[in-house]
Structure 1
Amino acid sequence: MSYFRTAILLAALTALFMGIGFIIGGQGGMIVAFLVAAGMNLFTYWNSDKMVLRMYGAREVDARSAPELHDMVRQLAHNAGLPMPKVYIMENPQPNAFATGRNPKNAAVAVTTGLMNTVSPEELAGVIAHELAHIKNHDTLLMTVTATIAGAISMLANFAMFFGGSRDNQGIGFLGTIALVILGPLAAGLVQMAISRTREYEADRGGAEISGQPLWLASALQKIAGAAHRIPNMTAERNPASAHLFIVNPLSGARIDNLFSTHPNVENRVARLADMAKAMGETGGAPRMSTEAAGPWSGGERRATRGPWG
């Protein structure tokens, strides 16, 4: 059902984009707008992963520079039936993570130093499994496309403000153009956020299946959300269009599950994972975590507790 809903929302976003192009320039405007969006999507298809990783100053690590993290990603990717993605670390105190890449063969998982210093090995495995689920579901490409179309709609709406509508639009007029400028980008943003929330729920489910322990991810989400509320991510604040990539909203505020949030409410996500854990025969309470205190992983100073990811 989530895939069907995503398809409907994406179709609505595309229809809105095509409709704005028609209002601005008639059939010719609709075609030009479509070609512009296609060019933008083609560019982001090949370059979005490099752009976002560079934006956040992510550095690639391997089995030598970050053995525990690299080994965990490799084993979870094997569980998921995925090729080994590239692994990146971002020097950022806010605990968070995201996945990017145009397909599973060209994917990357990036985690912050704040995440590795905050969560236990089991919780980190839950987060990585969530990101691998995004890769497996091709969400990394989907979210790039939706963000690009939403941005193109805003651009077209600005054109409408300066150049007015086409004679083919059957008299939308000045007031209609003003409404278009205001409501078009708003509607596009709402659809984009709805798609993002749908894919987050699906990645929670898929990640829990990959790790085999839904409560690991549930516990990690609670820790990340609590810390992210206190610790700002200044790069994300300067580039809010990238907020939907992260496992938890990296922006200040926006902690409620409403039309304007890019992520589902964490309490709702945890409740769903708890239900999933019960269905899998686990306890519905707090996860059983390692007694080791969380600490830096990036240099290989500590060994991850072995679990189902191994």
Structure 2
Amino acid sequence: MRIASDEVRNNKIKSYFLILFFIFLAALLGSVFGLIYGNLYFGIAITIIFAIFYTLVMYYSGSKMILKMTGARPVTKKEFPYLYHTVEGLAIAAGLPTPKAYVIDDSALNAFATGRDPENSSITVTTGLLNKLNRQELEGVIAHEMSHIKNYDIRFMMLTAVLVGIVTLLSDFLLRSFLWGGMRGRDRNNNQLTILLIVVGLVLAILTPIVGQLIKLSISRKREYMADASGAHLTRYPQGLADALKKISKDPDPLVDHANKATAHLFISTPFRKKHSFVAGLFSTHPPIHDRIKRLEDM
């Protein structure tokens, strides 16, 4: 399918530009840090080396850490035969290697996919989802997660989360440097330069994580719409996923016990209790679920 192949290519290209953009932000923060301590190039070099090292570590071990953080455990064919065969069958239909299947022992209705590529991927569902969805609804959810894998959303979103995390750490360190009484390497009598660097550094340290977080959330919301459409195409039955989302939206206790802000964007629906306000919508990891249902029912 041409649209799917275009999406894969676009996600790969966006991944490279995303890395370059966040390396630029890290270098910008590093330059301020270097000026504070009197060595511009040292500050830039250290932050870029740290960013590259951290990204590589998370790229190769991030999915394992996510599975551990969420309390996921591997699925056996004997314990969950229908889930096992559903993942296997939809992987064949999508032309993908079969992802590893995991479950979270939790009554909430939710699921997510993770990994760095289709060859190193997994799909995780909660036991609540398995117990409360019928066959067509479960297939819709698994197809949605399979689409995240096929479109390389799993890599793109993992890189986004990692890079936003790096910028946030660097910004926090920069703010602490000011609090500890920075500018050690500069002439403290040069008050104008001191004030300028402090203002620029504080603005960067405060705004950069916010901008990074908004970029991550915007990307996450768009990817959910795309995965809904791709998943519906895979099953040839959009109503299955629409009905699953209806049940998920009516779940009286949507809170997934082991979910946190670092992993929330991975789930098919927000794993926290929903808040209805403009600010909550702006910082939401997911588009409004009623909009997703309407789009599916209009297909």
TM-score by length of 1: 0.80
What is the deviation of 1:258?
Answer: 3.0
Q: Give the secondary-structure state (helix, strand or coil) at the position aligned to 1:269.
A: helix
2:99 to 63, 85, 88: 85
- Number of residue pairs aligned between Structure 1 and Structure 2: 271
Q: Give the secondary-structure state (helix, strand or coil) at the position aligned to 2:30.
A: helix
Aligned partners of 2:113 and 2:145 also within 8 Å: yes
In 1: Cα distance, 2:231 partner to 2:41 partner: 44
Within-5 A mapping of 1:35-184: 35-164=49-178, 172-184=196-208
> Is the aligned partner of 1:258 residue 2:281?
yes
What is the deviation of 1:81?
Answer: 0.5
**Cα distance per residue 1:144-189 (max 9 Å; x no partner):** 111111111111112211335887xx87422332222221211111
Amino acid at match of 2:111: A
CA shift in 2, pair 1:46/1:241, >3 Å: same
Amino acid at match of 2:153: D
1:226 matched residue in structure 2 = 250
Amino acid at match of 2:106: N
Q: Give the secondary-structure state (helix, strand or coil) at the position aligned to 2:124.
A: strand
Aligned partners of 2:29 and 2:201 also within 8 Å: no
Q: Which moved more, 1:105-114 or 1:137-146?
A: 137-146
1:197 matched residue in structure 2 = 221
TM-score by length of 2: 0.82
What is the deviation of 1:16?
Answer: 2.8
Aligned partners of 1:37 and 1:148 also within 8 Å: no
In 1: Cα distance, 2:154 partner to 2:82 partner: 25
**Cα distance per residue 1:66-108 (max 9 Å; x no partner):** 1111111111111110011111111011100001112111111
Amino acid at match of 2:27: M
Higher relative contact order (CA 8 A, sep 6+): 1
In 2: Cα distance, 1:131 partner to 1:178 partner: 40
In 2: Cα distance, 1:54 partner to 1:183 partner: 31
Q: Give the secondary-structure state (helix, strand or coil) at the position aligned to 1:193.
A: helix
In 1: Cα distance, 2:64 partner to 2:134 partner: 29
1:244 matched residue in structure 2 = 265
Aligned partners of 2:106 and 2:126 also within 8 Å: yes
In 2: Cα distance, 1:247 partner to 1:150 partner: 21
Q: Give the secondary-structure state (helix, strand or coil) at the position aligned to 1:102.
A: strand
Q: Give the secondary-structure state (helix, strand or coil) at the position aligned to 2:281.
A: coil
CA shift in 2, pair 1:225/1:83, >3 Å: same
Aligned partners of 2:117 and 2:155 also within 8 Å: yes
- Alignment identity in percent? 39
In 1: Cα distance, 2:145 partner to 2:53 partner: 27
